[in-house]
Amino acid sequence: MTHTLSPAERLDRAVDGLLDGLSPSVASAAAGLDAAMRPLVAVAAGLRSSLVVPPASSRFEARLGTRLASPAERDPIGWALRHPGRLIVTGAVGSAVGVGVTAYAVWRSSRRAGAAHRLLHR
């Protein structure tokens, strides 16, 4: 049983050919494209030759490479377990901030409640 290729499948085959280094005319002929589809292969060839992969900057490459190589990124759980002191400091700072924010909120609400009480009983 033969499977008749759709136009999109034939075009994809021609693009495969282009990406493998064939010229547009050879890729079109190999994929069995009709004349109406050949301008699309020309566009594809333009994309292939013009849209180069822009290289990442060497500074960025080095910075990310260093980060990926750091023990904290490679094995974050193991790293945290090996550095319990940092976990304790982080937890303590987080708790202190939480306590401070809560105390401030309580103080503010009690001030407002006190003012309202004085107004009502004036």
Which spans of this chain sit near other proteins (rule: CB under 8 A)? 6-9, 11-12, 15-16, 19, 39-40, 42-44, 46-57, 60-61, 64-65, 67-69, 73-76
Query: How many other β-carbons are positioned within 10 Å of the β-carbon of residue 12?
Result: 14
Q: Which is nearer to other proteins, 47 or 87 (CB)?
A: 47
Minimum CB distance to other proteins, residue 120 (Å): 44
Minimum CB distance to other proteins, residue 80 (Å): 14
Q: Which is nearer to other proteins, 7 or 100 (CB)?
A: 7
Q: In sequence order, what DSSP letters do the residues of 81-104 get, joined into one string?
A: HH-HHHHHHHHHHHHHHHHHHHHH
Query: How many other β-carbons are positioned within 10 Å of the β-carbon of residue 44?
Result: 20
Minimum CB distance to other proteins, residue 12 (Å): 5
Query: How many other β-carbons are positioned within 10 Å of the β-carbon of residue 8?
Result: 9
